[in-house]
Amino acid sequence: MGLKTFIESWPVYRQLTGDDPLGRGSAAYSATTRNLVPRTATADRVVKSVCPYCAVGCGQNVYVQDGRVTQIEGDPDSPVSRGRLCPKGAATKQLVTSSGREHRVLYRRPHGTDWEPLDLDTAMEMIAERVLRSRRQGWQDEDEGKKVNRTLGFASLGGATLDNEENYLIKKLFTSMGAVQIENQARI
Ligand code: SF4
């Protein structure tokens, strides 16, 4: 590299002689930063979604490349959040990609001190058996002479991640089983 080229590559020289006198733009670029490309630029597609963390329901753009989530940003089209995400929402990519994400069913039996893995079929059988038993034990035909046909043996409490369609199905399912206490945190 010649002396002139060397001096011109110096950030302070570019700051003093170029169009970036505050040194907060092009003058501060190194060869590496000049070649950086945002993860969003190489995505194959962008999927519209809703932040699953809380009931505010901020809109998200989920960037996908080769079938994998590469970045999640606020959705400027959302009338709720207009492109913004709070720190929790901005970190939701880790919900999908974190190495700490659990993919197995884990069960801690009564008085147990450790989690033990279960296969999904076994877990579903255990849940079904408990639902049937609770329904039977908590069933009421009548209350003060009025026909009620309900169970107070279980309730449904959903989170903010549920959408309209999921809540519709959950309400149908639990009502058909006789539950009367059915609530969720979703407000979208
Ligand atoms: S981005 Fe923050 S405020 Fe918005 S829904 Fe997610 S957790 Fe709630």
User: Is 64 close to ligand 1, i.e. is its CB under 6 Å away?
Assistant: no
pTM summary value? 0.66
Pair 93, 112 in one domain: no
79 in any annotated domain: yes
For a mutational test of ligand 1's pocket, the pick from 53, 73, 78, 94, i.e. the residue with the most ligand atoms closer than 8 A to its C-beta, is 53
What DSSP element (H or E) covers 131? helix 120-137
User: Is 59 close to ligand 1, i.e. is its CB under 6 Å away?
Assistant: no
Model confidence over 116-165: pLDDT tens digits?
999 999 999 999 999 999 999 999 999 999 999 999 999 999 887 777 88
Pair 179, 120 in one domain: yes
The residue among 6, 11, 41 whose CA lies nearest residue 26 is 11
Give the model's pLDDT for residue 87: 96
User: Is 86 close to ligand 1, i.e. is its CB under 6 Å away?
Assistant: yes
Type of residue numbered 142: E
59 in any annotated domain: yes
Give the model's pLDDT for residue 188: 56
What residue numbers bound the domain in which 84 lies?
45-97
Read off the tokens for 92. Answer: 């939701």
Q: Which residues contact 169 (CB under 8 A, 6 or more apart)?
A: none
User: Is 88 close to ligand 1, i.e. is its CB under 6 Å away?
Assistant: yes
User: Is 57 close to ligand 1, i.e. is its CB under 6 Å away?
Assistant: yes
Within the chain, strands assigned E span 45-50, 59-65, 68-74, 105-107, 116-118, 139-143, 146-151, 156-158, 182-184
Give nearest CA residue, ligand 1 atom 6.
89
Residue 187: pLDDT band by 50, 70, 90 thresholds? low
Q: What is the CATH number of the domain that holds 60?
A: 2.20.25.90
User: Is 72 close to ligand 1, i.e. is its CB under 6 Å away?
Assistant: no
